[in-house]
Amino acid sequence: MAEKEQRIAAPKLALVLNEFELEHSIDDEEIITQATVQGRTFDGIEARRVTFRQVLFQNTVFVRSLLKGADLEDTVFEGCDLSNLDLSESILNRVCFRRCKLVGINMTGASIRDTVFTGCSAKYAGFRFATFERAAFEDSNCSSADFEGASFSKMKFSGTDLRQAQMSGAALSGIDLRTCDIDGLGARTNDLKGVVVLPEQAVVVAKLLGVIIKE
């Protein structure tokens, strides 16, 4: 009997969220719970090991900021600009990014579980050595993103631009890339074993395997 597909768990937000105070900043090891952050710009924030629980970020911008080692759970980002934000070594559990700008975001070594990126621009994003479990990129731009050494478990890419993305050392067995643009994808021979592609995409895969195709 086939194993039932496990769905990605959605964030669980409280029915009532408190408004994040305008004058409030974010400090090391701070715990922020059941809050909504709307239209804020955080410039030059450097806070480590911050905890976010049931937080809704809407149209929020982080500029020249670092939230290394953050712990995010049941958190939603809508229409936010997190470009170049340092979220390395962070833990994400039941997190959703909707229509966000994530250009150059740094999630190196992050643990990303039950998390969805939908309609996002994540060009040049850094996911090196990150661990993905029940996660998905949907209708997003991950061109030139770095997934080197990443670990994928029940991972989905749907309608996503993966041109020039680097996936060396990230085993792609069972990953379905049929709806994605994989032109220029960077991967090693062993990484491609079991990857699912369309016949027309096989040419790209063949080049990665060193196959010479002639008319």
pLDDT band at 5, cuts 50/70/90? low
The pLDDT value given to residue 209: 65
Count of C-beta atoms within a 10 Å radius of residue 178: 14
Q: Tell me the CATH architecture of domain 30-208.
A: 3 Solenoid (2.160)
The CA radius of gyration of the chain, in Å to the nearest whole number, is: 18
SS3 label, residue 167 = coil
The pLDDT value given to residue 2: 41
Nearest in space to 81 (alpha carbons), one of 66, 63, 93, 96: 63
In the chain, where do the E strands start and end?
A: 18-19, 31-38, 41-43, 51-58, 61-63, 71-78, 91-98, 111-118, 131-138, 151-158
pLDDT in tens, 100-130: 999 999 999 999 999 999 999 999 999 999 9
Residue appearing with tokens 């990150």: 130
Residue 172 has which token pair? 């792609």
Neighbouring residues of 120: CB distance < 8 A, sequence distance ≥ 6: 97, 98, 99, 100, 101, 102, 137, 140, 141
| Average pLDDT, rounded, for the chain | 91
Does residue 3 carry a pLDDT above 50? no
Length of the chain, in residues: 215
Q: CA–CA separation, 92 vs 159, rounded Å? A: 23
The structural domains of the chain, with segments of one domain joined by +, span: 30-208
C-alpha distance across the termini of the chain, in Å: 44
Model pTM? 0.91
Does residue 43 carry a pLDDT above 80? yes
The pLDDT value given to residue 30: 94
Count of C-beta atoms within a 10 Å radius of residue 202: 13
Does residue 203 carry a pLDDT above 80? no
Q: Are 27 and 46 in contact (CB under 8 A)?
A: no
Does residue 6 carry a pLDDT above 90? no
Q: Specify the amino acid at residue 173.
A: S
Cα–Cα distances in Å, from 49 out to 71, 88, 89, 103, 150? 7, 11, 9, 22, 22
Residue 18 has which token pair? 């408190």
Which backbone phi and psi does 206 adopt, to 5 degrees? -60, -40
